[in-house]
């Protein structure tokens, strides 16, 4: 099964054997500074956005890249488990990474503390127009 760890300034996603074969890669490395939000989605299919690109897309098991208006996402999810979802900024190769991990709630708590304070941009005020 997929594991998510933090190594220095990187979030490292290590895929399980099946996911690695389907996605054609063993690890995904993301800069911690690019982390914008993290959460757990109980309905695995809700993390899928855009169109399927490279990877394997079977009912209940998806692994690979998806492309859409928000950018390229990486997913490695299974139907029987909730998905850990990480939304990322422009410094990352992916806009979103969603993976099924053994304890998504614990991983979410660990990653939430790493979200940079400047990650949340204040809303821009629009000038009043008559």
Domain membership of residue 40 as a residue range: 3-116
Predicted local distance difference test score (pLDDT) of residue 120: 55
pTM over 0.85: yes
Residue 122 lies in a domain: no
Predicted local distance difference test score (pLDDT) of residue 117: 84
Predicted local distance difference test score (pLDDT) of residue 123: 45
The residues of the chain scoring below 50 in pLDDT are 122-124
Predicted local distance difference test score (pLDDT) of residue 7: 96
Residue 11 lies in a domain: yes
Residue 94 lies in a domain: yes
Predicted local distance difference test score (pLDDT) of residue 119: 63
* Cα end-to-end span (Å), the chain: 58
Residue 51 lies in a domain: yes
Residue 68 lies in a domain: yes
Looking at the structure of the chain, the number of domains it has is 1
Residue 75 lies in a domain: yes
Predicted local distance difference test score (pLDDT) of residue 59: 86
Residue 130 lies in a domain: no
Residue 124 lies in a domain: no
């Amino acid at each position: 099964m997929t594991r998510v760890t933090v190594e220095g300034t990187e979030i490292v996603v290590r895929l399980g054997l099946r996911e690695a074969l389907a996605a054609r890669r063993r690890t995904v490395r993301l800069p911690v500074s690019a982390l914008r939000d993290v959460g757990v989605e109980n309905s695995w299919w809700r993390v899928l956005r855009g169109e399927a690109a490279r990877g394997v897309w079977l009912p209940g098991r998806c692994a690979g890249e998806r492309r859409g208006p928000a950018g390229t996402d990486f997913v490695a999810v299974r139907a029987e488990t909730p998905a850990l979802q990480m939304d990322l900024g422009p410094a990352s190769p992916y806009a979103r990474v969603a993976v099924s991990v053994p304890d998504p709630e614990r991983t979410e708590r660990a990653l939430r503390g790493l979200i940079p304070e400047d990650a949340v941009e204040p809303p821009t005020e629009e000038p009043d127009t008559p």
